[in-house]
Amino acid sequence: MQARSRLSAVVLLMMGLIAGLVIATQWERTPTQPVFGTPNFANPDKSIPAGDREIRTLEDLNKAFVDLAKSVNPSVVTVFTERVYRVRQDRMFPFFRSPFDDFFEDFFGRRQPRQEPEEREYRRSGLGSGVIVSTEGYIITNNHVIDNADTIRVRLIDRRSFPATVVGTDPQTDIAILKVEADNLPAIPLGDSDAIEIGEWVLAIGSPLSPELAHTVTSGIVSAKGRTGVGLAEYEDFIQTDAAINPGNSGGALVNMNGELIGINSAIATRTGGFQGIGFAVPVNMARMVMESLLEHGEVIRGWLGVYIQDIDDIMAQAMDLPVHEGVLVSDVQENSPAERAGLQQGDVIIKLDGKQLLSQSQLRNEVASRAPDTNVKVTIIRDGRERTIDVTLGRLEPDDIAVRPDTDFDELLGFRVASLTEESASRYGIDPSRSGVVVTEIQRNSTAARQGLREGDLITHVNRQRVENRDLFYENVRGMQRGDTILLNVTRDNRNMFLAFPL
């Protein structure tokens, strides 16, 4: 009897061990990471049964957002600006005073003393946001937040307020650096905006619409990267997000799930003036470059390659028999530039810079401008259907180099682009290569220039009766023109000369 009892106990023990092994095997197949991915702020207990894991993960996700907001919100400040206007006006009847009033006498024939204009002062207030990036009191914000302000104050989340001075500004990226005299401020760590991916969760923090709404936290995702053509700055490489951004959020923080600053909220695309799900932030890598240059040199120093460039579309790729549809086409090379000294040529297609794939001219401009002068870069090009890499030592970008770029807003005003005439372009468009001038390489279909008959491939020899022998001289002659001015062109087409005139 006892032997039978012992046997039953052994059987039960073996069955228990087998069941335990089966259960343990099933648990090993259950994912131990949260279904929403990393980083894992809450460190969930791995012993939780699989059936309860999803509910626990949602709690962890909620706690992660709460902890993230608590950690980064103190680094965001509200920026108050004030600009003083002084206006001179007459003390009595300022809108009805006649210039002949000083010649009239009163009823008794006495000449009335002239009333000197009175100066009145008006104040205009502004509201924005900023981000503390140093415990010593350095703050990044947007240039348009503090532009032309006479006084600037910042207010922290604990309601402390400090006057701020402008360390430096860079309108070309819409970044400004402020400084407050305070110690041990809650600085936010800077992330790597190049490493972010579309679809990442982000938080936007700022002071939308009103000081009473300061430190508003909204969430969303990274909707896109590398947005250009927004029209807010010269150098645009915006991060697009659907986190709610409204007026007043400008200069605020866009942070990732690690609590790192990845962007400075700057603009919105809207038809109503309010949030419509499309916001733009300056990448923190660009803002950091601007800040470091301003602090070290007192100005933003940028690299310079010295090429005129344009994007490649299907028609251009087909016409030039290019093996790629991505990259940047060199339409011209500036004389005595780093590009010319390194051997870059018109018609080269730049596809990589230091091994990084290039998709647009804006990307190339940003990459070059973000590097310091005298930096050696490897430029990968396609020439005559073959890929090769050229070493280039960048120069320093000067204001004059910016003024004559073909990809500025001035080309939008003209409605077309030009390049110096070369043997290659002369052959392509059937132009006598002994001629001098500039050839029209691109024209907007609905522009005034197109409606007046200007065509791609036309050779322009004179602008406003001034001879132009190359592209630089062309832009030098039209640089001072404005919208509404009339431009006169001498054009050669099919060996026939003609005049074309049209308003810009």
* Residue of 134, 146, 89, 77 whose CA lies nearest to 115: 89
Set 75, 193, 207, 250: catalytic member: 250
CA dihedral 180, 181, 182, 187 (to 10 degrees): 30
215 among known catalytic residues: no
Measured CA distances, 54 to 23, 44, 61, 231, 401 (Å) = 19, 11, 10, 45, 58
174 among known catalytic residues: yes
Q: Running DSSP on this structure, what letter comes out for residue 256?
A: -
| CB contact at 8 A, 405 and 398 | no
For the chain, the C-alpha Rg in angstroms (whole number) is: 32
| CB contact at 8 A, 489 and 478 | no
Set 75, 144, 207, 237: catalytic member: 144
Q: Residue for token digits 């990448």?
A: 283
Half-sphere exposure of 46 (CA within 13 A, CB side): 9
Instruction: Report the alpha-carbon distance of residue 481 to residue 415 in Å, rounded.
Output: 13
Set 174, 237, 242, 458: catalytic member: 174
Other Cβ atoms less than 10 A from the Cβ of 367: the count is 17
332 among known catalytic residues: no
Measured CA distances, 477 to 307, 397, 456, 467, 487 (Å) = 20, 22, 20, 9, 10
Q: How far apart are the first and last CA of the chain?
A: 111
Beta bridge partners of 438: 420, 460
Catalytic positions are 144, 174, 250
